[in-house]
Amino acid sequence: MGHGLASAEAQALADLLPLLACGEEAAAIAFVRLAQRQEGTLAATLAAIGVEEDVHQALLAALGEMLPEPDRGGEQRRVARRFHQSLAADGPLVHLARIAAVDAATCTILSRMLARGRPLARDPRTFALFSQIRADEARHVASARAAVAGQGDFRSAAAEARAGLARLIASGGEAFERLGVDPDRLVRDVGVLPQGLV
């Protein structure tokens, strides 16, 4: 799989990839652990999502091999890893609510990156990869929401997760801008939990 991005666009994507890939890595681990704590259909659903997250991680790693070195990859991975690990605090149901909130935000991020006329929308392979990830993440949101429905009030925890993700992606402002995404608007929208999400 190659990419057809201009060099500045490829560098921008490379700079954002550690933030995106770390989320997939953390989600794969989280869903496997959550599946081990559940039974029946929910356990099978969560395990299947964990497998999909592993596939996403592998696809993003393969894409990363074709891109330039990220400017601050190691630092971004460490910060992103800490953020994603923090989502697991307070038990499995709260964790699932936070995952629903963060995965829904990931769909927003990817939608902005893939919008018509943007560099990623003009590159068929990269567009297909991120479109598939976005579709999978939307299903993951639905599964996580279904798992926590009627189990308690998780709005505050989910809102905190969205605010944390907004702070995390703010560091990628210049890279988002090079990919045609308004970083200030993206950070603002990611930081707000949509009404009724959890």
SS3 104: helix
| Among 97, 100, 107, CA closest to 130 | 107
SS3 149: coil
**CA–CA dist 23, 62 (Å, integer):** 16
CB 156 within 8 A of CB 193: no
- Match 């603002």 to its residue by tokens: 188
pLDDT score at 73: 66
**pLDDT band at residue 39 using 50, 70 and 90 as cut-offs:** confident
pTM of the model: 0.91
- Match 């769909």 to its residue by tokens: 107
pLDDT above 70 for 2: no
Mean pLDDT of 29-44: 84
φ, ψ (nearest 5 deg) of residue 97: -65, -40
Most confident of 28-37, 120-129, 145-154: 120-129
What's the whole-number average pLDDT of the chain?
91
| Among 19, 68, 69, CA closest to 171 | 19
Q: State the Cα angle at 152 between 149 and 155, rounded to 5°.
A: 85
Structure tokens at 41: 């259909």
Q: Is 7-190 in CATH node 1.20.1260? A: yes
Contacts by residues 151-157 (CB-CB < 8 Å, ≥ 24 positions apart): 151/93, 152/93, 154/93, 154/94, 154/97, 154/98, 154/198, 155/193, 155/198, 157/90, 157/94, 157/97, 157/98
Number of H helices, E strands in the chain: 9, 0
What does the domain layout of the chain look like in residue ranges?
7-190
Higher pLDDT, 25 or 111: 111
**CA–CA dist 189, 79 (Å, integer):** 21
**CA–CA dist 51, 85 (Å, integer):** 18
